[in-house]
Amino acid sequence: MEAIRQRIAARALVPGDRLPSIRQFAKTMRASPSTIVQAYDRLVAEGVIAPRLGSGFYVTGRTLPPLLLAEAHTPTTRAVDPFWVSRQSLDSDPTTLKPGCGWLPTEWMPNDALRKAFRAVARGENSILSEYGSTRGAVRLRRLLTAQFAEGGLDVSPDQVLLTGSGTQAVDLICRLLVRRGDTVLVDDPCYFNFQALLRAHEIRIVGVPYTATGPDTEAFEQIILREKPRLYITNSVVHNPTGSSLSPQTAFRLLSLSAASNLLIVEDDIFADFETTLVPRLAVMDGLEHVIRIGSFSKTLSASVRCGYIAARQDLIAGLIDLQVATSFGGPSPVITEVIADVLKGGSYRKHMLEIQRRLGKSRKVVACKLEDLGILPWVEPKSGFYLWCRLPDGQDSTDIAVRSMADNIIHAPGNVFSVSQSASSFMRFNVTQCEEERVFHSLEVLFAGRSLSKTAKSGL
Amino acid sequence: MEAIRQRIAARALVPGDRLPSIRQFAKTMRASPSTIVQAYDRLVAEGVIAPRLGSGFYVTGRTLPPLLLAEAHTPTTRAVDPFWVSRQSLDSDPTTLKPGCGWLPTEWMPNDALRKAFRAVARGENSILSEYGSTRGAVRLRRLLTAQFAEGGLDVSPDQVLLTGSGTQAVDLICRLLVRRGDTVLVDDPCYFNFQALLRAHEIRIVGVPYTATGPDTEAFEQIILREKPRLYITNSVVHNPTGSSLSPQTAFRLLSLSAASNLLIVEDDIFADFETTLVPRLAVMDGLEHVIRIGSFSKTLSASVRCGYIAARQDLIAGLIDLQVATSFGGPSPVITEVIADVLKGGSYRKHMLEIQRRLGKSRKVVACKLEDLGILPWVEPKSGFYLWCRLPDGQDSTDIAVRSMADNIIHAPGNVFSVSQSASSFMRFNVTQCEEERVFHSLEVLFAGRSLSKTAKSGL
């Protein structure tokens, strides 16, 4: 897109000119034809070029609003805070490599099942196509969820489940209901960076609990509860983000005992449940939703475009959450969205799809760990499930520094400190193994490390 | 659904029994076959009955979680507050009449265009099917919006537009960015009831500005600004909800002058723009987005299931709103949703569809106004566009009382006071003319009025 824009700006292409053919331009740019198709499509959407039936693409002569040119990327001068990784990876163009992002490549998703479900929507009832839907969200999907929960040992009725716009919105609604400005909320240190961004938006005091390979440090947890009197604790039990480790039964029991004694509510974000390959204890199951709220979504396993989250909680909490969702979103998630998710979950292929994903991930985690090890980058634990490797960089390399410098190579990394409340993870980096398929990721790190070592050597040589 | 459930509860139908055929049961219930199909489908979703290929539906014997039975309806004992109409109408079953709801019947929506767009999604790119999309939302839809704005005289670049999950979420994000707990926000009195629900969720002080047939009372507006120092004013310029009236140019100019002088920001909710049949001045256009934020959505004209809202605002505000949307929803609206909306808007049929809707509404407003007049229910103004009639009930009838008693007739009304900050609209009722097609609406009111008059007479006779 940039190359075409530059040619137009330089008047090498003027209004009415025909653009190079897809094949020809793919050769020039050393890109795949599908990348060029995508770039041309986007330029068409921007009105810069227009297709003529059967004869290629032409420059329209319409000028772009000047700000649009700068829009695609978040300025790199922005502080490397919890928003940094989100905005960089969400707004990146398709040529960017994203080992720092938190999702699977689109080819890994169950796209055929999604297509089938959308065809069914196109044939389906008007009410699914154009109505608001009920305040709790489609009962069909809530029943499927409760059936899943029951398999895991948690019996809840579908009316204890509220469907939300996303997993993030689920946490947001819970904070709105239960936490007030200035209250304290506990998170793991390190934890998913967007928990921090979200809590900051609520002007909530965030306190981190040191995370160990078997869950949060329960001694520290106890002391912090006594000292801080927090309202909530937000955590992942399975495939903890960013470390990839999971809760041990002992830690789970200890956490629940401590929380019950001090009336602390726990939000257990179960978003990675379908990646689980070994049996991990769930706080929501052990506790039976008395002091635990379970949330989750389908964005990591099914589709981030067909977005929907859920909250399973005590009946009294659900009633308040429904009103809040009506006030702030007018109703639950779209009937189309929930119908498509229910279709995919119910279709026979989903379980098989996830087994295949788990198999691929097991292999991918090993391959990427080996390649990282060659660079002296070592995983903190060896995760049994999921797509994250939480790794220490060699020689005191600073991960924020590496992340900023990687932008020049068109690579987005997730530096440790965006996950750390105490800012104590500067030598860590989270790698998404599914986004590390190109050698360029490793080569870029090697060059950056070498540069840093060279300049160190140069300095010490002075 | 209730009839089948009762038969199962009474063991008139036991596990393995075949249900009455659709045609036969439609006759028994005096309902249309499509209603029965819908009821059976829902019972299937609940697991109560199951289809057998080519031979009808059978009782499964699975028992429902007891709470589910009670769930479909919000308890009628609930206070008649701004949540009341939303929850009643969103959670109503298909047999309920909803003259109080705020949307068109599903058959009025452009369902064919939606089906076509979903078929295109099913054939389209993986990235639309399963990726998060960019933080501002699809540029394709933002460009279509800015082209629409330009037609109306407002030039903004697509990067001044942020797509959101819904129109309500747009207002919510703006409040999160600009207003703090305890601040004062102005709304019209009467105004769309969910503005109040939303502002209360933010713990914001709400002050109402008396609304006249040409917009807010500007003298009262001036005094209130001086006295209350509000941060925001939220209003509709076209087809004001609930009154159906629109802003006059004089009022628009005066409002903008007063707001600019006191640095008050105005949120102009343009959700009814596509219903407009006469040219109404827009605050956003006159002001050029300096002190005005334009919001809107496609829920009323295109689909409430394919939900998406937008915010058009100054660049500095958009930057903050993007971060807030990432923190609270992780990204903009779904690429599938925005793709479908863009497809429908771009398709040639949408404009024709809206012209037809406008024609039907003009007729419908007249017919319903006549029928209401027969009952002594008189519109406060005669709206030129839209589907609302804001009416005064005869003989000091109390609209809250009527709304509560109408529940027994399975009819949901929107009583005046849910729209009124000052609670001064007890004799008003908002009617959605498109939801008044059944005579039962008028007959029920007639009986209720008569009952009330009778009891009055009876009382005065004592």
CB-closest option in B65, B159, B198 to A67 = B159
Which residues of chain A have a CB within 8 Å of the CB of B139? Answer: 42, 45-46, 68
Which residues of chain B, if any, have pLDDT below 70? 45-46, 53-54, 62-78, 452-462
Q: What is the pLDDT of residue B82?
A: 82
Q: How far apart are CA A236 and CA A97, in angstroms?
A: 26
Interface probe for B, chosen from A306, A328, A434 (most Cβ of B below 10 Å), is A328
| Inter-chain touch A71–B136, beta carbons under 8 Å | yes
Q: What is the pLDDT of residue B208?
A: 97
Interface probe for B, chosen from A37, A129, A175 (most Cβ of B below 10 Å), is A129
Closest CA in chain B for residue A64: B157
Q: Which amino acid is at B423?
A: Q
Q: What is the pLDDT of residue A81?
A: 85
Which residues of chain A, if any, have pLDDT below 70? 45-46, 53-54, 61-78, 452-462
Chain A touched by B194 (CB under 8 Å): yes
Interface probe for B, chosen from A307, A330, A339, A343 (most Cβ of B below 10 Å), is A330
Chain B nearest-CA distance from A317, in A, is 15
Interface of B with A in 140-159 (CB under 8 A): 140, 143, 157-159
CB-closest option in B67, B86, B114 to A129 = B114
Q: What is the pLDDT of residue B271?
A: 96
Which residues of chain A have a CB within 8 Å of the CB of B71? Answer: 136, 158-159
CB-closest option in A65, A71, A330 to B166 = A330
CB-closest option in A128, A165, A201 to B324 = A201
Chain A touched by B320 (CB under 8 Å): no
Instruction: Give the ipTM of the model, two decimals please.
Output: 0.82
State the DSSP string of B260-313. HHTT-EEEEE-TTGGG--S----HHHHHTTSSEEEEEESTTTT-SSS--EEEE-
Chain B touched by A107 (CB under 8 Å): yes
Interface of B with A in 164-193 (CB under 8 A): 165-169, 172, 176, 181
| Inter-chain touch A87–B326, beta carbons under 8 Å | yes
Closest CA in chain B for residue A92: B134
Q: What is the pLDDT of residue A35?
A: 87
Which residues of chain B have a CB within 8 Å of the CB of A132? Answer: 90, 103, 299, 304-305
Chain A touched by B135 (CB under 8 Å): yes
CB-closest option in A45, A111, A129 to B129 = A111
| Inter-chain touch B111–A130, beta carbons under 8 Å | yes
Interface of B with A in 358-417 (CB under 8 A): none
Chain A touched by B80 (CB under 8 Å): no
Interface of A with B in 322-361 (CB under 8 A): 322-324, 326-331, 334-337
Q: How far apart are CA A276 and CA A357, in angstroms?
A: 11
Q: What is the pLDDT of residue B40?
A: 86
Which domains are delineated in chain A? 2-69 (1.10.10.10), 73-102+351-452 (3.90.1150.10), 111-346 (3.40.640.10)
Q: What is the pLDDT of residue B272?
A: 95
| Inter-chain touch A87–B324, beta carbons under 8 Å | no
Chain B nearest-CA distance from A10, in A, is 23
Which residues of chain B have a CB within 8 Å of the CB of A122? Answer: 115-116, 118-119, 122
Q: How far apart are CA B149 and CA B156, in angstroms?
A: 8
Q: What is the pLDDT of residue A28?
A: 86
Chain A nearest-CA distance from B56, in A, is 20
Q: How far apart are CA A310 and CA A295, in angstroms?
A: 5
Chain A touched by B314 (CB under 8 Å): no
Answer yes or no: are the C-beta atoms of A159 and A321 closer than 8 Å.
no
Closest CA in chain A for residue B171: A328
